[in-house]
Amino acid sequence: MAPSIPNLPLQPGVVTLSAAEREAGQWSRANIQKILELMHRDGLAVLDGCVADTSVLDRLRVSMATTSNEIKASKTSVTDFNHGVRSNFLQSPPLTDKSLLFAEVYQNPFAVAAVEAYLGKGSALAFLTANTALASTTDRQPVHKDASFVHPAAPYMAVVNFLLTEFRPSNGSTEFWLGSHNQTLPIEQVWKSADAIVPTCNIRQELLEERRKTRPPVQVEVPFGCLLLRDPRTWHAGMPNPSTDDRTMIALGYTAPWFPRDNRFLAPLSAETLLTSNPDVECLATFIPDSEWEEVCQKWGAGEPMQLKYLPKPEGWVTETMLKPEEKVVVEDVVAVSG
């Protein structure tokens, strides 16, 4: 199980981009070190000042709120929701509206630099999505990590979340178990059956209670305009949103240079120029005509066209973290939804 050192902070650390760094177009060595220290200690870091013009986030929030209201009417089954909980669903950002294709979001140089410091040069953009916590909800997700496969025991992916509002418990901010990514292994996860090829994302209950004694979870508090950089192995859970407004964040997921690149995500041709504009970051997208993308772009979930497929194929993927059948903890009624 992931170890814990007593008396560590519960809230994530903040790294603030200075005016001099912005003018230079790069993080200082000291701040890169701080980002890496926080990521290796906590699996999560708050990056402040990376978005110079926060009005772009306001414009995205307004556009995506309209879309999320339309999506709600189409949700009929629990499997339509993120991790099988009715308080949260995945949606796509407005990638066909060229007036909303902001480089500060989709090619933010400071976010990319932080990712590459953590994963290495030559990382790839592996998925692009968004997550909406529905207003006036009371259900929470089970504690999980975003790895519904026998994942490596090393940093293989980093996710950058662009928060379109402030991120508080009062509007359903995510619960994080900081530091849980350290030495985390697939043996911590629940399986649907003993002969299953891959585990679910969910963490075993007895391990949660053990971890709670040394470094309990916390709903993070992050000001508007900040980014979250996180390791998807870090345990977390989507929480109820008691406010009267939906809370949305955009997620860009990057994989390490050595990680398999077999899977592709769908994106519209309108976004191709922007998403492929950084020659140092391969975009693992299949670009399709805008009209085709519009037809499928909000169809998320198991078996749907926009299902997250950023995992390596189970066959042939050999790692030191492979499990024996007798090591699998089975919970048959768990909802096996990744993310």
Nearest to 79 by CA among 257, 263, 300, 237: 300
**DSSP run (H or E) holding 116:** helix 109-119
Domain with 194 in it: 14-330
**Does residue 326 lie in a domain region?**
yes
**Does residue 136 lie in a domain region?**
yes
User: What CATH number has the domain bearing residue 211?
Assistant: 2.60.120.620
User: In this structure, what token pair is assigned to residue 90?
Assistant: 């995945």
> Mind listing the pLDDT tens digit of every residue in the chain (339 residues)?
555 566 789 999 999 999 999 999 999 999 999 999 999 999 999 999 999 999 999 999 999 999 888 887 665 555 555 555 656 788 999 999 999 999 999 999 999 999 999 999 999 999 999 998 888 988 898 999 998 888 888 999 999 999 999 999 999 999 999 999 998 888 899 988 888 778 888 999 999 999 999 899 999 999 999 999 999 999 999 999 999 999 999 999 999 999 988 889 999 999 999 999 999 999 999 999 999 999 999 988 777 888 876 555 555 555 656 666 667 778 766 654 443
**Encoded amino acid at 185, one letter:** L
pTM recorded for the entire structure: 0.91
- Calpha distance 271→196 (Å, rounded): 37
**Does residue 54 lie in a domain region?**
yes
User: In this structure, what token pair is assigned to residue 28?
Assistant: 């200082």
Q: What angle do CA 142, 143, 149 make, to 5 degrees?
A: 100
What are φ and ψ of residue 338, in 5° steps?
Answer: -85, 155
What is the DSSP secondary structure assignment for residue 64, as one 8-state letter?
H
**Does residue 47 lie in a domain region?**
yes
CB-based contact 281:112 (threshold 8 Å): yes
- Calpha distance 156→118 (Å, rounded): 9
**Does residue 62 lie in a domain region?**
yes
Indicate the number of domains in the chain.
1
- Calpha distance 213→67 (Å, rounded): 41
β-bridge partners, 248: 132
Q: Which residue has the tokens 């814990």?
A: 4
**Does residue 4 lie in a domain region?**
no
**Does residue 337 lie in a domain region?**
no
User: In this structure, what token pair is assigned to residue 208?
Assistant: 């949660």
**Does residue 208 lie in a domain region?**
yes
CB atoms within 10 A of CB 23: 8
**Encoded amino acid at 244, one letter:** T
User: In this structure, what token pair is assigned to residue 217?
Assistant: 């979870």
Percent helix, strand and coil across the chain, each rounded to 5?
A: 25, 20, 50
